[in-house]
């Protein structure tokens, strides 16, 4: 690793220099480079991804940045010792802990807590490398052995706010290791690796949306993703031209997808599809709803109705963005929120309040965003309405005795950086 990586003219030069110093303090060597991936806000299309439906998220201007370099093998001071066992070492600005284990011992069961996100990605990538090229973390006689690595994580994506700090870490780790291990996977494959890590190593049964947004985002655009075909389309948002911005209202009610109602919602969707003889709810439309209401119990019916109507709202949002622009999508955002509150029942009083006050204070539209049970709402607002709208939200939360929400504007931004070396 040479310090040409630390190009002083790079906008993140100061951050990279600080992370290189922290990396060296924790891992005893210089990092080989820096890679990053953003969090995301979902504009519309909630709980549709695992139903093979449509989503429309965008990557935001808050990112995880990882510094990565070779690690010294366990029990060997000489990196080139032939029988040394390559190790994975991970650290984060978020905790004091350094987690180290031999690459060969990386299995979902061995991973827990925050390190399951980066190490889950390492495990999923190693499995993938073994399946495609015979490369192995345990050094099978046939294939090359993947080298050990050390990784240090920094992120300014708020944790547990529904902005996918988890996908930011997964995708930053995935692009870094993809290059370090020379695996040559494309962004869609890397998104899938992140999802496998989250599902199997972390144990959260989430869909492919978060990682897709983090990998594929573009400045000033949303990612329209068909979660069945995995076809993606970049949809310009055109916020600037209309003097609009997207305000995030982080309620600071923390969610937990691994243990929350997420899994039960997913199960209801699967039950509804199978009762209708469909492979997934993607195969049903609003025309099927009357028949579904007769067959399904009320709760399962309402869960399915949310997904089916939400898919239609995503497609309509894309159509309106392409034909009329962002001022036209407010009613769809509002309807999405009502559907999540009443049919899917994943909202909480703080999210409902954030949405109601936004709507009453002149927002174009507003909805909770992310998996629900806490986290953030978004409001599509006119730039000049922000001060009054923010004041109204803060006051409404105070009056209800809720914790003060965190309010900030997000910019639709580019996705993960595939190349970490600042000099190329």
Are 210 and 57 spatial neighbours (Cβ–Cβ below 8 Å)? yes
Q: Between 93 and 122, how does the x/- string for binding to ligand ADP read (CB under 6 A)?
A: -x-------------------x--x-----
Instruction: Write down the least CB distance from residue 104 to ligand ADP, Å.
Output: 24
Contacted by 224, from ligand ADP, Mg ion, none: CB < 5 to 8 Å by type: none
Q: Catalytic: which of 7, 78, 83, 210?
A: 210
In the complex, minimum distance from the CB of residue 373 to ligand ADP, in angstroms, rounded to a whole number: 11
Contacting ligand ADP within 251-310 (CB under 6 A): 257
Cβ contact 325:238 at 8 Å: yes
Q: What angle do CA 314, 59, 89 make, to 5 degrees?
A: 130
Q: Whole-number minimum distance, CB 194 to ligand ADP, in Å? A: 11
Residue from the set 48, 87, 165, 369 that interacts with ligand ADP by CB under 6 A: 165
Please identify, among the stretches 55-63, 128-136, 160-168, 273-281, the one whose residues bind ligand ADP according to the rule CB under 6 A. 160-168
Please compute, for residue 107, the number of CA atoms within 13 A of its CA located in the half-sphere on the CB side. Answer: 5
Which H or E run contains 337? Answer: helix 330-339
- Residue 126's contacts (CB-CB under 8 Å, 6 or more residues apart) are 103, 106, 135, 136, 137, 146
Which of the choices ligand ADP, Mg ion, none does residue 94 contact, using the CB cut-off of 5 to 8 A by kind? ligand ADP
Assess 373 for contact with ligand ADP (CB under 6 A): no
Site for ligand ADP in 120-139 (CB under 6 A): none
Active site residue 113: no
Three-state secondary-structure class, residue 372: coil
Give residues with Cβ within 8 angstroms of 365, minimum separation 6: 329, 330, 331, 332, 333, 334, 359, 379, 380
Residue 162 binding result from ligand ADP, Mg ion, none, given CB thresholds of 5 to 8 Å by partner type: ligand ADP
Considering the complex, what minimum distance in angstroms separates the CB of residue 64 from Mg ion? 12
Strands 54-70, 376-382: pairing is unpaired
Q: 44 burial class (0-12, 13-18, 19+ CB within 10 angstroms)? A: buried
Cα 267 from Cα 287, distance rounded (Å): 23
| Chain length of the chain | 424
Give, as ranges, the residues between 112 and 171 that touch Mg ion (CB under 5 A): 164, 166
Contact (CB, 8 A) for 340 and 366: no
Beta bridge partners of 33: 68
Instruction: Compute the least distance from the CB of residue 39 to ligand ADP, in Å.
Output: 7
How far from 406 is each of 143, 251, 252, 348, CA to CA, in Å? Answer: 50, 7, 7, 16
Pick one of 86, 160, 187, 194: the residue that binds ligand ADP (CB under 6 A): 160
> Facing residues of 378 across strands?
248, 367
Binding mask 67-96 for ligand ADP (x = CB under 6 A): -------------------------x-x--
**From 121-129, 165-173, 221-229, 315-323, span contacting ligand ADP (CB under 6 A):** 165-173
Residues that bind ligand ADP (rule: CB under 6 A) add up to a total of 16
Rounded to the nearest whole angstrom, what is the least distance from the CB of residue 187 to ligand ADP in the complex?
19
Name the segment binding ligand ADP (CB under 6 A); options: 75-83, 131-139, 158-166, 218-226: 158-166
Q: Which residues bind Mg ion (CB under 5 A)?
A: 164, 166
Q: Known catalytic residues?
A: 210
Binding site for ligand ADP (CB under 6 A): 92, 94, 114, 117, 153, 155, 159-166, 169, 257
């Amino acid at each position: 690793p040479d310090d040409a990586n630390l190009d002083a003219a790079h906008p993140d030069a100061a951050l990279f220099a600080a992370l290189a110093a922290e990396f060296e303090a924790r891992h005893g060597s210089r990092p080989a480079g820096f890679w990053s991936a953003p969090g995301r806000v979902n504009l519309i299309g909630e709980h549709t991804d695992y139903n093979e439906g449509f989503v429309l998220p965008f990557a935001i201007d808050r990112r995880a940045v990882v510094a990565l370099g070779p690690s010294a093998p366990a029990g060997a001071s000489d990196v080139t010792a032939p029988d040394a066992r390559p190790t994975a070492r991970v650290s984060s600005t978020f905790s004091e802990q350094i987690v180290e284990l031999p690459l060969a011992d990386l299995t979902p069961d061995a991973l827990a807590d925050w390190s399951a996100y980066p190490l889950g990605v390492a495990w999923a990538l190693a499995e993938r490398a073994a399946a495609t090229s015979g490369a192995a973390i345990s050094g099978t006689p046939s294939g090359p052995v993947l080298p050990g690595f050390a990784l240090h994580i920094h992120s300014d994506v708020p944790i547990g706010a529904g902005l996918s700090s988890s996908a930011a870490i997964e995708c930053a780790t995935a692009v870094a290791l993809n290059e370090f291990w020379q695996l040559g996977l494309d962004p869609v494959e890397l998104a899938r690796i992140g999802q496998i890590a989250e599902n199997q190593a972390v144990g959260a049964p989430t869909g492919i949306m978060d990682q897709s947004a983090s990998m594929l985002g573009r400045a000033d655009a949303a990612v329209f993703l068909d979660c069945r075909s995995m076809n993606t389309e970049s949809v310009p948002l055109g916020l600037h031209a209309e003097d609009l911005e997207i305000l995030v209202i982080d309620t600071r009610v923390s969610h937990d997808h691994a243990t929350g109602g997420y899994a039960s919602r997913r199960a209801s969707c699967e039950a509804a599809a199978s009762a209708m003889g469909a492979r997934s709810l993607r195969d049903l439309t609003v025309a099927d709803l009357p028949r579904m209401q007769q067959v399904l119990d009320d709760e399962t019916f309402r869960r399915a109705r949310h997904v089916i109507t939400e898919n239609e709202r995503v497609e309509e949002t894309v159509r309106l963005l392409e034909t009329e622009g962002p001022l036209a999508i407010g009613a769809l955002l509002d309807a999405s929120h009502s559907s999540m509150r009443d049919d899917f029942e994943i909202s909480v009083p703080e999210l409902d309040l954030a949405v109601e006050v936004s709507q009453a204070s002149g927002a174009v539209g507003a909805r909770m965003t992310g998996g629900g049970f806490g986290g953030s709402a978004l409001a599509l607002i006119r730039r000049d309405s922000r001060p009054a709208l923010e004041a109204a939200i803060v006051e409404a939360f105070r009056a209800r005795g809720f914790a003060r929400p965190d309010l900030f504007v997000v910019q639709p931004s580019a996705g993960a950086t595939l190349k970490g070396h600042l000099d190329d």
